[in-house]
């Protein structure tokens, strides 16, 4: 799988983008731009070192209030692109 770096432009949430680095199926780095700073730093810290598939399973489908998505869900969507692009 190797190393993949991505800047994902989020949709429908307060954050504007997410920088992600994945190496051999493991999340090495996540940084959100905009949004709820403390919460998003916490999410980034929690997923760092986690396998991509495990993070997707935990984060996919989380909603923010009445929105159909959330920043964690957007991260899961970005990770799916990384995962599926490397298969």
- Domain span at residue 75? 3-85
- DSSP assignment, residue 2? -
pLDDT digits (tens, 9 = 90+) for 43-57: 999 999 999 999 999
- DSSP letters along 29-81, please? EEEEEES-HHHHHHHHHHHTTSBHHHHHHHHTT---TTSS--HHHHHHHHHHH
pLDDT digits (tens, 9 = 90+) for 24-38: 999 999 999 999 999
Q: Give the number of domains in the chain.
A: 1
Q: What tokens were used for 25?
A: 């199926």
CATH code assigned at 21? 3.30.390
Residue 53 has, within 13 A of its CA and on its CB side, a CA count of 5
Single pTM value for the model: 0.95
């Amino acid at each position: 799988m190797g190393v993949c770096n991505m800047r994902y432009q989020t949709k429908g949430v307060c954050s504007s983008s997410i920088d992600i680095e994945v190496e051999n199926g493991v999340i090495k780095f996540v940084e959100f731009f905009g949004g709820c700073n403390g919460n998003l730093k916490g999410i980034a810290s929690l997923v760092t070192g986690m396998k991509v598939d495990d993070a997707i399973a935990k984060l996919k489908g989380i909603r923010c209030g009445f929105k159909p998505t959330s920043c964690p869900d957007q991260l899961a969507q970005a990770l799916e692109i990384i995962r599926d692009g490397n298969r």
